Amino acid sequence: MLTHYVLTGAPGSGKTSVLHELRRRGHAVVEEAATDVIAERQALGIDEPWARDDFVDLIVMLQRERASMRVCNSVHVQIHDRSPLCTLALARYLGRPVTPLLAGEVSRVLSEQVYARSVLLVRPLGFIEPTAARRISYAESLAFERVHEDVYRENGFDLVDIPPGPVADRADLAEAHILAATERLRHR
């Protein structure tokens, strides 16, 4: 049985670095979609793709495509850099309507119980490094993190704090939780 875990957090929290460390350690991972949608659109000359009406749906489609990729049968855990619930948090944060595609995907992942009920929340580092895709202040990133917390809790998920620290230590915490939770699931 394949168990899917979500790794989430504020923009600039170091979440993707933790994910890459987990991949380096041999875990199957699914990369974040939003950053790639932004980069792809910016390469096409769209400076602020998040301001476009199709932004949320583009993320949902890429998330679904990546999540549906097959993994070998020996893999029992897959770690996702964000989920459709994160995209729901993004829509709320941006003040965007929840599109039918997003609503359907959130409904699907909830009804099918796609993700483990414990979500790894990578806490902010205390600063943010702006990038072409990350044009958000530290204060804004904290507000965005709170929206994520609300969305996951509203939908029955437990948040597991991954506090600031060296990437390897954060990956150790994430890995320890995943291994313990997966072991508990096996013994049910």
pLDDT digits (tens, 9 = 90+) for 20-71: 999 999 999 988 888 888 889 989 999 888 888 898 898 888 888 887 776 6
pLDDT at position 165 is 97
Q: How is residue 47 written in tokens?
A: 């400076």
pLDDT at position 134 is 64
Residue range(s) defining the domain that contains residue 65: 3-186
Distance CA 105, CA 102 (A): 5
| pLDDT > 90? residue 159 | yes
| pLDDT > 70? residue 188 | no
Q: Which helix (H) or strand (E) holds 28?
A: strand 28-30
Higher-pLDDT residue of 155, 58: 155
pLDDT at position 133 is 62
Count of structural domains within the chain: 1
CATH number at residue 112: 3.40.50.300
| pLDDT > 80? residue 15 | yes
Q: How is residue 57 written in tokens?
A: 């749906």
pLDDT at position 186 is 72
